[in-house]
Structure 1
């Protein structure tokens, strides 16, 4: 089913569009109260991930197999992106001499720490210091930590035989309460710890809701989706997103020849910083520079890794039925 593939690509482009503004030093374009294109794109990713990863766990209930498949989806592409950023892009753009840069231990530390997912670092020596948003090499990496933590949580629930729609819906409700409480109290704006807790709760809600909707075999009616979309203009936008994403993802579309969403996500930020430092950053230049890297990442790294996933057993096709008319032909 191709609906989710196209939604992932749209989500990645939303993130790229958001960064094309903020990395130029401009205020973000607001789509609603507290909702910008970057938050919407990341939110879409988490809903889709919850739905598809829950399906993967159903088909590969062995915890080690499940986690191995998740690792093969994240780490090969990430490793190559980190190495290219630290040892190809870094020497090209640093304010240091190439020799001083390469003798510095920080480029190697950048790769290793970010590859761990939990020791994320954003700086490389002398890199992007003249950019409007100075010194940050790849500000998109923080979400991968949340993503993999969600995988680990789902694996623990699976080992405890608690991966079911009811349990996940209850946990999603708890996450929504925490996210709303942090936001309404203003704590999410009072330091990094509360901000990280708010983002973890918010995106945890989206992931868990996507998983719960999949396991409950929910097929949203159009009126439900339209009603939920009204919430996108409010501070409770995240409550309305999962039904809309699931409905659109269930549309039966031809599968695209390549999934460029992950490559766009992990390569766009450093390349956009390069463009911003040269005062050449906009959405068109961002996509023109990043799409070739995303394509190479897919065909040379991610797709071969997916072949290894297939050898681990289990059907990797989404176990989500497309929306269809009574006669059996796809609608929408």
Structure 2
């Protein structure tokens, strides 16, 4: 179990910071304002998601090494993502949706869209963003939960890592080589003038960027790299530049490995999956800012952790050969 001040707690703190950065970003764009950029680097949302992917690559690679089989590894990943996601989708479609929809309740539930919203988004790969009459008058209209796109990339990364593990290729040189391929592909997509406003090009940009970050985290763990604290400063120096993504993996791992206070709960995932629709409610009523966003979303994140995520994580101990080291999630 993670102890007070132990390095494992550093990643927990970073995850919460990453989720808060996404909330900060959406507090602007869901009000119809242009995103705030960090110099010539990323917006806070891209930075927050990037931090998630580095941490995920680093920690799930360690999990794969400790896990007796690929099936158990994937079962752990499903237990981390699926229960909290399903609860959020059901609450959004069956409770929030009819409360805020412009349609009468009978018309709302007479449409198949609420059920399809749950089923498609729970599949991770058939992501849909709209519900009947929901947020039609918001400054950023007809998008119920724009944060869901990243989960399919996250789970795809898990599947790819599991495949490498099954083939006995989840080794440091292979992961480093794949990271370089992903990074090179991102440079081609991003710096050759390709219009990323189209859905396919946008997905290619997001997949290659976050694939680079995930694989860098994985390679750093596989090489057993323990970056010194000063590498975090290098990452911060690069942050307001177009090369921000190059320094981020070392910075995140260096910061994550530093001793930090133990958090009473991991609210990062719940904050990530609940904040967007709740911020849309605030935006429709002209009350959206960072403070109102956190005040509304954090109780939902706490309920998600204590009522859904933490009980689901206990099931990991029942998996064949699994060791319940702690109820600290690997996102």
TM-score normalised to structure 2 length: 0.94
Give the whole-Å Cα distance in 2 for the aligned partners of 1:157 and 1:32: 37
Structure 1 residues 317 and 220 mapped into 2: Cα distance closer, same or farther (>3 Å)?
farther
Give the whole-Å Cα distance in 1 for the aligned partners of 2:167 and 2:258: 33
2:235 to 228, 234, 239: 228
Structure 1: runs of 5+ lacking an equivalent: 319-332
Give the whole-Å Cα distance in 1 for the aligned partners of 2:205 and 2:195: 6
Is it true that 1:137 corresponds to 2:144 in the alignment? yes
2:114 is matched with 107
Stretch deviating more after TM superposition (106-115 or 61-70): 61-70
1:291 is matched with 298
1:120 to 111, 118, 127: 127
User: Does structure 2 conserve the Cα–Cα contact (< 8 Å) formed by 1:11 and 1:45?
Assistant: yes
Give the whole-Å Cα distance in 1 for the aligned partners of 2:100 and 2:71: 41
User: Does structure 2 conserve the Cα–Cα contact (< 8 Å) formed by 1:35 and 1:237?
Assistant: yes
2:27 is matched with 20
Is it true that 1:314 corresponds to 2:322 in the alignment? yes
User: Does structure 1 conserve the Cα–Cα contact (< 8 Å) formed by 2:232 and 2:255?
Assistant: no
Q: Cα deviations across residues 114-145 of structure 1 (Å, max 9, x unaligned)?
A: 00000000000000000000000000000000
State the aligned residue count.
318
Task: State the secondary structure of the residue aligned to 1:189.
Answer: coil
Give the whole-Å Cα distance in 2 for the aligned partners of 1:104 and 1:258: 38
Offset of residue 188 of structure 1:
4.6
Structure 1 residues 228 and 253 mapped into 2: Cα distance closer, same or farther (>3 Å)?
closer
Stretch deviating more after TM superposition (255-264 or 179-188): 179-188
2:263 is matched with 256
Offset of residue 254 of structure 1:
3.1
Task: State the secondary structure of the residue aligned to 2:239.
Answer: helix
Give the whole-Å Cα distance in 2 for the aligned partners of 1:316 and 1:276: 42
Give the whole-Å Cα distance in 1 for the aligned partners of 2:244 and 2:66: 32
Give the whole-Å Cα distance in 1 for the aligned partners of 2:145 and 2:16: 19
Give the whole-Å Cα distance in 2 for the aligned partners of 1:188 and 1:233: 22
User: Does structure 1 conserve the Cα–Cα contact (< 8 Å) formed by 2:101 and 2:133?
Assistant: yes
Offset of residue 317 of structure 1:
4.6
Structure 1 residues 177 and 317 mapped into 2: Cα distance closer, same or farther (>3 Å)?
farther
1:5 to 7, 12, 20: 12
Structure 2: runs of 5+ lacking an equivalent: 1-7, 327-331
User: Does structure 1 conserve the Cα–Cα contact (< 8 Å) formed by 2:84 and 2:309?
Assistant: yes
Q: Over aligned residues, Cα RMSD in angstroms? A: 1.2
Offset of residue 192 of structure 1:
1.3
Offset of residue 103 of structure 1:
1.2
Give the whole-Å Cα distance in 2 for the aligned partners of 1:23 and 1:316: 40
Give the whole-Å Cα distance in 1 for the aligned partners of 2:119 and 2:109: 15
Give the whole-Å Cα distance in 2 for the aligned partners of 1:71 and 1:190: 31
Is it true that 1:242 corresponds to 2:233 in the alignment? no
Offset of residue 187 of structure 1:
1.3
1:78 to 85, 95, 112: 85
2:4 is matched with none
1:45 is matched with 52
Task: State the secondary structure of the residue aligned to 1:233.
Answer: coil
Offset of residue 241 of structure 1:
0.3
TM-score normalised to structure 1 length: 0.93
